[in-house]
Amino acid sequence: MVRTYRPDEKEIKRDAAEVQLPVNARRLAQMLERRVLSPRLASGLVRLFEIVVLGLLAIICLRNSVDGLIARLSLSALLIVVLAAMMQMTHGYEPAVLRSRRSQFLRLGASIFSATIIVGLCASLTGKLTWALTHDLWIWAIAGFGLLSVVRFFLARRMRRWVRNGFMERRAILVGGGSAAEAFIRRLEMHPDNDVRICGIFDDRSDDRSPPIVAGYPKLGSIAQLTEFARRAHIDMLIVTLPMSAQARLLSIMRELWVLPLDIRVAASSADLRFRSRSHSFLGDIPLLNAFDRPLAEWSMITKRTLDLVVGTFALIALSPVMMATAIAIKLDSPGPVFFRQKRHGFNNQIINVWKFRSLRHEMADPLARKIVTHNDPRVTRVGRFIRRSSIDELPQLFNVLTGELSLVGPRPHAVHARSSFDATFTEIVDGYFGRHKVKPGITGWAQINGWRGEIDDSEKLKKRFDYDLYYIENWSLLLDIRILVMTPISLLRSQGAY
């Protein structure tokens, strides 16, 4: 397995829940609990709407010049593919373009009419271009441009209002105050139509080096407190406003922040710097180095959630007889409840209650997981040994999937106070342990199908599990999730270490 780079210093061992936020930071975090519409998601919805509208319009316009439904659908699909490529080349779906007053109409018109000409040339080269087809192609182009222009005119006004009202924005926190932060803010203010909202500043330095107010924005706390703030508030981006010369401090901050599921950018201090196209992005004309990207954002998150709901619902229905039989067996085997709830780390290190079938004797239950279950553990019931070995005890977590606390696939959620069999906490064993919480935990995962499940009686086992979890996070795709789901039943047949 190929390992990618991760910070090698030990992260802060203090539990994030124990970090106390200043009063102003706590109040702001409460204000920012409400989710807003992501500009990228809005852009994707506009793209989807226009593809559907133009596709249907093409099918209607070509009905007299193209015989056969299959041929008409094929030509309509070609029009949409070429149009999508042209819109991509002209950046026609960038959020800033969609809010513009004139630029978007030029790009829309150029893309639609270019697609019409290209498809017409293709039809001419194949000898299928007729006067009727030419007429219908131009009818499609004119009608499509006119219809979408009207829609975009009103949408642009609405989107500008959403940005002003804070309904559609990217929330950003500046890391590092002082003159560098002030210079960045002043430069950003030169682009009043941008969708970035600066929520505050976090800095470890004292007030004499980093003033409590910078360009009207308050300093909310330290870097350690930023980690807790980002877990309470819905933040999209961290922008590190430190000079590139402060390399040691920059690296130190990155080692603390990389565990957060946010886009992390470094503000370039010089407009003359040049970077590779994939290594940087822009806010207006301000270049930002792309240090870390959020693992799952916007459409990837929607795709994964759709898979969870569809497959999770089907699995719950299909496995309901097994779950009912298990519940009866547990009740007959030992006194106590059928289900067991345990607090575990969820997405962004938040605490969630995970459902399981009870596999331990009720009087010996260990909801805090202070003692790991080992081979021939006397606390495990007869039914418990079987359902733990076969992972049937995990099936109630399908309810956690449907409520959105878990995903079908992801790093397994560990207990909040989980310890190894040699009495070491997981954060003591693995550097950057909380980095595995950048996505939702799952019922199954890449580490599990590769054999890294069960008892942690050796530090290397947890490190291997962590490495596989990071590989999954950094290489997620829908196909990878499907592959893991298919391989999970097979991996259970050769599973070891699950007691």
pLDDT confidence tier of residue 128, bands split at 50, 70 and 90: confident
How many whole angstroms separate alpha carbon 341 and alpha carbon 60? 56
Contact 232, 33 (CB under 8 A): yes
Q: What is the mean pLDDT of residues 222-234?
A: 86
Final residue of a structural domain among 292, 315, 330: 292
Between 31 and 290, where is the model more confident?
A: 31
Question: Residue 12: what pLDDT?
Answer: 38
Q: What is the pLDDT of residue 456?
A: 64
Asked if residue 30 lies in contact with residue 224, where contact means CB atoms within 8 angstroms, the answer is: no
Residues 281, 321 share a domain: no
Choose one of 292, 316, 343: the last residue of a domain: 292
**In this structure, are 122 and 175 located in the same domain?**
no
- Report, as an integer, the average pLDDT of 220-228: 86
CA dihedral 311, 316, 317, 321 (to 10 degrees): 140
Residue 8 placed within a domain: no
Shared domain for 286 and 397, answered yes or no, is: no
* pLDDT at position 420: 61
Determine the average pLDDT of the residues in 451-478.
Answer: 81
The answer to whether residue 230 scores a pLDDT higher than 90 is no
Helix, strand, or coil (residue 122): helix
Q: What is the reported pLDDT for 367?
A: 64
- Residue 424 pLDDT: 64
Q: Judge whether 132 lies within some domain.
A: yes
- Asked if the model's pLDDT at residue 5 lies above 50, the reply is no
Confidence tier at 494 by pLDDT (50, 70, 90): low
CB-based contacts of 366, cutoff 8 Å, min separation 6: 360, 379
For residue 481, name the pLDDT band (cuts at 50, 70, 90): very high
pLDDT tens digits, 324-364: 999 999 989 888 888 988 888 888 888 889 998 988 887 77
Asked if residue 160 and residue 227 are part of one domain, the reply reads no
* 292: pLDDT strictly greater than 60: yes
Please give the Cα distance from 494 to 114 (Å, whole number): 57
Cα–Cα distances in Å, from 269 out to 179, 246, 254, 288?
11, 11, 17, 9
Task: Please report the pLDDT score of residue 209 as a whole number.
Answer: 79
What digits encode the pLDDT tens for the residues 378-395? 788 888 888 888 888 889
| Amino acid 255: pLDDT | 78
In a shared domain, residues 453 and 314: yes
Mean pLDDT of the chain: 83
Provide the number of structural domains found in the chain: 3
Task: Give 495 or 115, the one with higher predicted confidence.
Answer: 115
Residues 348 and 410 in one domain: yes
Q: Is residue 330 part of a domain?
A: yes
What band does 8 get if pLDDT is binned at 50, 70 and 90? very low
Residue that terminates a domain, selected from 115, 134, 165? 165
CATH number at residue 250: 3.40.50.720
**Can you tell me the mean pLDDT for 411-436?**
71
Q: Say if residue 186 is in the same domain as residue 224.
A: yes
If asked whether residues 97 and 211 sit together in one domain, one would say: no
- For residue 280, being part of any structural domain is answered with yes
Same domain, 43 and 32: no
Among 12-26, 109-123, 346-360, 399-413, the least confident range: 12-26
Within-domain flag for 11:
no
User: 199, 235 in Cβ contact below 8 A?
Assistant: yes
Domain membership flag for residue 7: no
Considering the domain architecture, whether residues 236 and 173 belong to the same structural domain is answered as yes
**Range from 196-210, 277-291, 425-439 that averages highest in pLDDT:** 196-210
**Which structural domain range is residue 449 located in?**
299-493
Q: Is residue 150 located within the same domain as residue 61?
A: yes
Q: Is residue 22 part of a domain?
A: yes
What six digits make up the tokens of 193? 């139509």
Does pLDDT of 69 surpass 90?
no
Q: What is the pLDDT of residue 298?
A: 77
Residue 1, classed as helix, strand or coil, is: coil
- Give SS3 for 3: coil
Give the rounded percent of residues in the chain with a pLDDT score beyond 90.
32
SS3 478: helix
- The answer to the question of residue 3 being in a domain is no
Q: Does 275 have pLDDT greater than 60?
A: no
Residue 274 pLDDT greater than 60, yes or no: no
> Which is higher by pLDDT, 117 or 334?
117
What are the pLDDT digits (tens) for 198-214?
Answer: 999 998 888 777 888 88
Alpha-carbon dihedral sign for residues 54, 95, 118, 74 = negative
Q: Is there a single domain that holds both residue 93 and residue 223? A: no
